[in-house]
Structure 1
Amino acid sequence: MTVGIVRDNISIVLQRPRYPENIGSAARAMCNMGFTRLIVVEPGIWDNARIRRLATHTAGSIVDRIQRFSSLEAALAPFGHVVGTTARLGEQRPVIKSPDFLARGLIPIAHNNPVAILFGPEDRGLTNEDLKHCHQLVNIPTVDFSSLNLAQAVMIICYCLATADQADPKPLTPRLAKRVELDQMYGELTAALMEIGYVNPQNPDYWMVRIRRFFTRLSLRAGEASIVRGICRQIQRYGVRRYTEGLRDGQCDGKPIDEG
């Protein structure tokens, strides 16, 4: 049996697009490939007439249903899997260099999980801060000049998703922890690790990068993220209890209090 991507579980997310025309062109590209869910975060200019002019009447229904958000965190909160697109490569940006390979890998994930494909601003692309929300990164290979027009990039990714199939499908991925659940987990984990001195409180993000990558590779389910949060809360409660007992017993930071 051959299976393909579940289109209704795929959303295209545009982070800070600068021009309304690119939003409209992206909507048209989505419509060509049968995708309907478009999210726009902090657009530079919002001009509905200019968006519709490039979307044409064919993609008008997509424009009508665009969801707008003022922050990327809020936009990605309901998604179980987030894919970031990037033209820049490097050690800090391990990427899948084949959109086709990415698309095939998303088939079992998108069956039970909402998936976001994230595109950055036209001039700079996604920042390292934006990429913290991503489970995977994908690069569209080019020759000589790496920068693509936003709508072109959306079209290429949507085409690969629309045409991907698996003749011998992998087991379907169960519901993964949503972005909001992971963000809550990372917040509590960071606090707990600072509490025990594992993470430098002066620059916690630097120390958390590898920990985030570790958990991302595990593709945590909702229940598993809840377990990690529970462990973090117990660590903090234990620390508070031990500190309180130390004060009661006349100790501070493990040393007797000088009564003289």
Structure 2
Amino acid sequence: MKSIIADLDLQPDAALTPIRVVLSHTSHPGNIGATARAMKNMGLNQLVLVNPRHFPDDEATSRASGAVDVLEQAQVVDSLQAGLQGATVVAALTSRRRELGPELVDAREAAQRLTVASQRGETVALVFGNETNGLSIDELQQCNLLVTIPTNPHYSSLNLAQAVQVLTYECRMAVNRSLANVEEHHPLASHEAVEQFYQHLEAALIDIGFLNPKHPKRLMPRLRRLFGRKQLEKEEVDILRGIVRAMREGRGSDGLEQ
């Protein structure tokens, strides 16, 4: 089935652009360029660099590969506090749980929270530390959510740009799911409509000889359980009743009109 997101034009990007990616004290310019590419792939464009060792830099431009516009509009600041100015939801990537630190969640849970906040108009920031040492304790204390990426416990090292790609991908997927849920929402069938369907179905099963009303056993309860596993939509009940009506007409019955 064609993805409904393909018909949403730039809505996912519009929902993601408020999310700010902050790189603190990045050592390698190639990682800055690769981060810009990862961001643009997923529809983010706000990049903030806190005291990068080398920037601007030809290697960063080369590694950006089509995302040079993200680099060109990147903001360079001298402290994380400046990079987080105006942000209300700040999530920091870390590989370790910190005592007395902010709540620690995995990347998928964090992305869900961050995108919900951004869609509500909050200013959201994703913070990534230095390639070697990560974020300092002081930097972590400026954040209100810690994020971890579940990895192989025997080899958990992730390149900086890879980590950015994982988190920005999860953010995009979270937005896509929320947009799809809105677009794909259909009214659920009422209790009365579902009960009428069961009555209609039971009459049809008797008509075709599949259900013996003198010895019904537990056929209808089992069918109720079968259909009850999913909340039936109004349109689905209409389809099912159409099928049942055709079954009864095939047996010469006028069907149950309700």
Residue of structure 1 aligned with 2:116, choices 98, 105, 108? 108
Asked if 1 retains the 8 angstrom alpha-carbon contact of 2:22 and 2:48, the reply is yes
Give the 3 Å change call, closer, same or farther, for CA 28–40 of structure 1 in structure 2: same
Q: Residue 46 in 1 paired to residue 59 in 2?
A: no
Give the 3 Å change call, closer, same or farther, for CA 108–97 of structure 1 in structure 2: closer
Q: Which runs of 4+ in 1 moved over 3 A?
A: 2-5, 92-97
C-alpha separation in 1, matches of 2:102 and 2:156: 16
1:14 match:
23
Q: Percent identity?
A: 34
Residue of structure 1 aligned with 2:94, choices 86, 92, 97? 86
Q: Residue 136 in 1 paired to residue 128 in 2?
A: no
TM-score (norm 1): 0.60
TM-score (norm 2): 0.60
Give the 3 Å change call, closer, same or farther, for CA 94–134 of structure 1 in structure 2: closer
Q: Which ranges in structure 2 are unaligned for 5 or more consecutive residues?
A: 6-10, 183-258
Question: Which structure's CA Rg is the greater one?
Answer: 2
Structure 1 counterpart SS, 2:104:
coil
The aligned runs of 1:1-260 (5 Å cut-off) are 6-56=15-65, 58-93=66-101, 95-111=103-119, 112-143=121-152, 144-164=154-174, 165-166=177-178, 167=181
Asked if 2 retains the 8 angstrom alpha-carbon contact of 1:97 and 1:141, the reply is no
Structure 1 counterpart SS, 2:155:
coil
C-alpha separation in 1, matches of 2:55 and 2:116: 35
1:251 match:
none
Listed one character per residue, the Cα deviations across residues 88-113 of structure 1 (whole Å, up to 9, x for unaligned) are 22434454342111111223211211
Listed one character per residue, the Cα deviations across residues 72-100 of structure 1 (whole Å, up to 9, x for unaligned) are 11111111111111012243445434211
Asked if 2 retains the 8 angstrom alpha-carbon contact of 1:84 and 1:138, the reply is yes
The structure with higher relative contact order (CA 8 Å, sep 6+) is 1
Listed one character per residue, the Cα deviations across residues 107-165 of structure 1 (whole Å, up to 9, x for unaligned) are 32112111000000000101110011101000001111222100000000000000113
Structure 1 counterpart SS, 2:67:
helix
C-alpha separation in 1, matches of 2:35 and 2:116: 25
The count of corresponding residues between Structure 1 and Structure 2 is 168
C-alpha separation in 2, matches of 1:90 and 1:145: 20
Matched letter for residue 46 of structure 2: R
Structure 2 counterpart SS, 1:141:
coil
Listed one character per residue, the Cα deviations across residues 180-202 of structure 1 (whole Å, up to 9, x for unaligned) are xxxxxxxxxxxxxxxxxxxxxxx
C-alpha separation in 1, matches of 2:137 and 2:27: 19
CA RMSD of aligned residues (A): 2.3
